[in-house]
Structure 1
């Protein structure tokens, strides 16, 4: 592993502290803890890269080496570097890290053609609640030692500037995700940003109207799951309709956490849909459909999860029965042409939710160009 001179690192910390206007003294603290974290992360990466047959053995060796390296860090680091592979991405946040984590992983989706076993493995490491210069400098030194790129969301301008200066001095590739957009919005709104992370004194209480709206939506959605309380369908913002295992419940939960009251109604062969479904505003209803082969594999996996084997006699994952179910739901969708029908095969929950919300907002606001809108 690349070794940074302690004297040089100390000079960097002092310089950055002066430029950031830090009022607290920075103690000379070793990075043994960060190194142990790094070894643990590399161990997890190795497990993902190895086959299932020897994953346990890799974990045991890495765990044993981690204990031994507490007494001899240099030897342990050299052995780790020999066995770990892939480029590292350090993600730093002064809060939970949700923003930086999702931003990085969304960007990594553009490299799925070469990730993991295809030539450019990437190891992401999230450092949350980094809200003092001392810890920030430790993370940046570790990033330099591991040859990582540093991606950060730091609301405090002094902390963000300190990260930038330290990365420049230590030649660490870096990217500020939050700063540029905050500055641009400040100019557009002609307002100076707070410069405070979420939860910091001076920030708006998390118990806002939006918070209580989400709590109410989640409570409503749980009570309306799987066709329960059809008399309350008129209270829902969105109603999802589809056969079993078309992601109605997880999709409902995801949308509820965004503040939408969601009800879902299962379509069961031989059982009429509740009459209330046809008495509410039909623009609220969204049909979900799926490829029969894909659905069969999902249902078979569900049976295995419940401990039921293939010998169990059931039409639940019988292909002919599944095709009949989907035909029944398809005919119902055709009879109700105002219901958008969304294909969920191979889609992530977020993707399906984005389609539903785009249609919902387009209808609600009668936009010429489809969009998803929120008011803050």
Structure 2
């Protein structure tokens, strides 16, 4: 069996995408190919070692570097050593430059940074679903932020909105007949926000909620005195924790989220 031809892949990141490109090309040939990755190329020394190995093994060099000095050094050394070197990004970079009339940033690992943001968002959304509405009190100590308030104070939509910004959020409903989780009384006031609302506004929201469910509004859930009692109870818990309290009456979720990040001095993640 013929010895496989070698392709040395030099990348300033992991090199996964470039490997797929090389494999796609290799499938068009009957001769066997073997790919060896050289990830996280950061210096001239890294390049020197790879080019020398490529010369010794008669390998093709394919690279996906974006730093101009390193690209120039690969071209120079591969020419000196008689090694075939192919820049996989240059043709497309030039096409983008021509189309956008912009110069590329030439910063390594930007794709990896984007991936991290994406996976952080996915993880945060999964967290918000898992720890929504006090499903599991353990989430209180794991969360970046804990939202507390009576029913229908936008805790869930606010949790999901903040999750899309990369924050792990747990939310806990405050109900007079239900003891608050022990973990809540130990949470840092810098990681907790209390949500309050005007009684009349809450009354209307709850009426609309019951109507959408086809339930009569003649229940304690919409009773004004009951609502006053719930809000008093909730505010008492919030004051014991010492957390910021935000009135969400007639506020959009986005507005409340921005206010929370400002009050708690939270940096944007995504």
For Structure 1 versus Structure 2, the TM-score category normalised by the shorter chain is: 0.5 to 0.7
Deviations 1:221-274 (A, max 9, x none): 100000111023111000000000000000000000110000000000222111
Q: Distance in 1 between the 2:183 and 2:110 partners?
A: 44
Query: Residue 321 of structure 1 corresponds to which residue in structure 2?
Result: 226
The aligned residue for residue 291 of structure 1 is: 198
Q: Report 1 or 2 for greater relative contact order, CA contacts < 8 Å, sequence distance ≥ 6.
A: 2
Structure 1: stretches of 5+ with no match in the other structure: 1-155, 162-182, 184-191, 195-201, 363-371
Runs of 4+, deviation exceeding 6 Å: 156-161
User: Unaligned 5+ residue runs, structure 2?
Assistant: 1-95
Native 8 Å contact 1:267 1:273 kept in 2: yes
Tell me how far apart the structure 2 counterparts of residues 160 and 250 of structure 1 sit (CA, whole Å): 38
Pair member with larger Rg: 2
Partner Cα separation in structure 1 for residue 176 and residue 169 of structure 2:
23
* 352, 356, 363: which one aligns with 2:256: 352
Q: Displacement, 1:373?
A: 4.8
Identify which of 276, 281, 294 aligns with 2:188.
Answer: 281
Residue 225 (str. 1) matches residue 132 (str. 2): yes
Structure (1/2) with the larger strand percentage = 2
- RMSD between superposed Cα atoms in Å: 2.6
2:185/2:241 contact within 8 Å kept? no
- The answer to whether 1:209 aligns with 2:113 is no
Equivalent residue number for residue 342 of structure 1? 246
Matched residue SS, 2:171 = strand
1:259 and 2:163 equivalent? Answer: no
Aligned 8 A contact 1:361 1:373 in 2: no
Provide the C-alpha distance between the structure 2 equivalents of 1:336 and 1:279, rounded to a whole number of angstroms. Answer: 8
- TM-score of the superposition, structure 2-length normalised? 0.58
C-alpha distance in structure 1 between counterparts of 2:205 and 2:193, whole Å: 21
* 2:212 paired with 1:308: no
Question: How many residues in Structure 1 have an aligned counterpart in Structure 2?
Answer: 173
Structure 1-normalised TM-score?
0.42
Residues 320-340 of structure 1 show CA distances to partners (whole Å, capped at 9, x for unaligned) of: 111111111112222232x00
1:331 aligns to 2:254 (yes or no) = no
Distance 1:282 1:299, change over 3 A: same
Matched residue, 1:234: 141
